[in-house]
Amino acid sequence: MLRLGLDQEGLSELIEVAQLFNGLNRVADAFQLEADVRPEGV
């Protein structure tokens, strides 16, 4: 990512966003929630 022009601050922000979504998925799994919207063909 650093070769693509992302500085250290941007890389840290990217990691934080990924951790946020992973945490939300863990909460949804814990509550055994099903997705309201599914991609076509699934």
pTM more than 0.75? no
40 or 13: whose pLDDT is higher? 13
Give per-residue pLDDT as tens, 2-38: 788 889 999 999 999 999 999 999 999 999 998 888 8
Q: How far apart are CA 24 and CA 13, in angstroms?
A: 17
Q: How far is CA 29 from CA 4, 7, 11, 20, in A?
A: 34, 33, 27, 14
What confidence score (pLDDT) does residue 38 get? 80
In terms of pLDDT, which residue wins out, 40 or 17? 17
Sign of CA dihedral 41, 21, 29, 34: negative
Which helix (H) or strand (E) segment holds residue 29: the answer is helix 8-30
